Structure 1
Amino acid sequence: MTIPASPSGGVARETLLTAFDALLQPALFKDFGPNGLQVEGRPRVHKVVSGVTASLALIDAAIEVGADALFVHHGLFWRGQDGRVTGWMKQRLVRLLTHDINLFAYHLPLDAHASLGNNAQLAQRLGVTLFDPGEGRFGDQSLGFLGCRASSLAQLADHVKVVLGRSVILIGEGHRAVNRIALCTGGAQGYFEAAIAAGADVFITGEISEPQAHYARESGVAYIACGHHASERYGAPAVAAHVADQLDIEHLFIDIPNPA
């Protein structure tokens, strides 16, 4: 992409949006909320801050460092929301609008990107070699990723714990050897049965609900829940850094700790 020079510096907001859309292809996904520009801020962007969730803490941190734009995985608007601008929604919007900060949010497209998305970035950090997309995807909208990493289940769970810096929930016999690994970050516990059908030895995701513990024990496919936030810390900064480098603007990742 060729960016026209401008005496005012930075890039146009629309140029940044076009770059994000071209990379993440949001039109290909049926999602739970709007992807792209959720809150319009100043027309030119010099610095973009990335983070997992458009929380008040992240917005305030972005204001502190003089950001023109926020790029997040979890934005402000979701299908089925109340729609009234009160309470926490008012607080967040007031900060964004008062400081003229653009908010860009991409949910499922950020999970799905083949190299920079949440699943791919988590796999990279865990040393999981992903299969080609033709054979290495599963579940609704092909959001689940498949790969391999030979290990015992206990060793894998310990590795995940060390890499992500938090405790994990492990369902399965620790001594058992595993190789074929399914990943789907965040709240993807509903993808477990699809992972089983895809021939996984173990499923790694952010959360676990009550039924999955039973499915894991009864199916013989192990389950590792490593935290919704912890599993999704890597896609937003990877994408934002890539685009910021492409457009020659500044990027900073700010991680707001979250035990969930």
Structure 2
Amino acid sequence: MHRSELVSVLNDVLKPSQIRDFCPNGLQIEGKEHITKIVTGVTASQALIDAAIEQQADAIIVHHGYFWKNEAYPITGMKKRRISALLNNDINLFAYHLPLDIHPDLGNNAQLAKLLDIEFEAGLEPGSSPSVAVKGRLRTPMSAEDFADKIAQALERPPLVSNVRNKPIETIAWCTGGGQGYIDLAAEQGIDAFLTGEASEQTMHSSIEQNIDFFAAGHHATERYGIKALGEYLAEQYGLAVQFIDIDNPV
């Protein structure tokens, strides 16, 4: 597939022009024109780039790429080493941040919901379309302890849990990654529990004082599944060789 065709396919599927983001979405580093082998991963770290070089990949597609808002402009140090490795090996780097979070089927929120048997109902943010945080209900209501066990099994790591209700969870809101700030909006709407990747110091106070159960299952762990699903879609629909490489991260 020609690079320009892959750009068109990805932009058509993920529609980055429809959402404001903190980074450029799409082709971030230009490499070779013809693409047959792709590596996907959560973050464009040096370890992922090195793995892609070893696999002789033509392109890398990630959720967390480069050139974030308020990031320093100079290409030095770690940034220089990463970009040099891509350029020296003629590897394209594609990155899709919020567009990959919110996609109704391939997105991180949608894929996490499938994994944990959560039924999507609506966006959590009133008047915001699309909504980065979403809400729904557990297909099978369960205690916070049982839901924590389910998360641990599915994501292969135990979540941080604030169990304050001591009642079965029926309704739930969620936002993969660093979405802990949405807990207050979920509490305002009377939702039983909130699930995200990270926690801040104030998150636990919000959980306790607003009587909403809280689960932090890991930024990386909750965002592995959208990029993996996107790669599987490209392989199935376009016959590309795609390999998902999970560079583990405890955060």
User: In structure 2, what residue type is equivalent to 1:24?
Assistant: L
8 Å CA contact 1:152–1:174 kept in 2: the answer is no
In the alignment, which residue of structure 2 is the partner of 1:137? 123
Q: CA deviation at 1:176?
A: 1.7
2:134 is the counterpart of 1:148: no
Deviations 1:43-102, CA, capped at 9 Å, x for gaps: 010011110000000000011111100010000110111111111101101110011000
Q: Equivalents in 1 of 2:72, 2:25: separation in Å?
A: 19
2:42 is the counterpart of 1:52: yes
Q: CA deviation at 1:144?
A: 1.1
Q: Return the TM-score normalized by structure 2.
A: 0.95
Structure 1: segments with no counterpart, 5+ residues: 1-10
Q: Return the TM-score normalized by structure 1.
A: 0.92
In the alignment, which residue of structure 1 is the partner of 2:55? 65
User: In structure 2, what residue type is equivalent to 1:144?
Assistant: A
8 Å CA contact 1:154–1:174 kept in 2: the answer is no
In the alignment, which residue of structure 2 is the partner of 1:16? 6
Q: Which shifted more, 36-45 or 152-161?
A: 152-161
Q: Equivalents in 1 of 2:204, 2:124: separation in Å?
A: 20
8 Å CA contact 1:111–1:235 kept in 2: the answer is yes
8 Å CA contact 1:45–1:68 kept in 2: the answer is yes
2:3 is the counterpart of 1:28: no
In the alignment, which residue of structure 2 is the partner of 1:125? 115
| SS of corresponding position for 1:100 | coil
User: In structure 1, what residue type is equivalent to 2:119?
Assistant: T
User: In structure 1, what residue type is equivalent to 2:78?
Assistant: W
Q: CA deviation at 1:174?
A: 7.0
Deviations 1:99-125, CA, capped at 9 Å, x for gaps: 100000000000000011001101111
In the alignment, which residue of structure 1 is the partner of 2:178? 187
Structure 2: segments with no counterpart, 5+ residues: none
The alignment-based identity, stated in percent, is 45
Query: Which structure 2 residues correspond to residues 84-99 of structure 1 after superposition, within 5 A?
Result: 84-99=74-89
Q: Equivalents in 2 of 1:198, 1:236: separation in Å?
A: 30
In the alignment, which residue of structure 2 is the partner of 1:244? 235
Q: Which shifted more, 193-202 or 178-187?
A: 193-202
User: In structure 2, what residue type is equivalent to 1:103?
Assistant: L
8 Å CA contact 2:195–2:217 kept in 1: the answer is yes
Q: Equivalents in 1 of 2:164, 2:184: separation in Å?
A: 19
For these two proteins, the number of residue pairs brought into alignment is 246
8 Å CA contact 2:160–2:217 kept in 1: the answer is yes
8 Å CA contact 2:7–2:26 kept in 1: the answer is yes
| SS of corresponding position for 1:142 | coil
Q: Equivalents in 2 of 1:252, 1:191: separation in Å?
A: 33
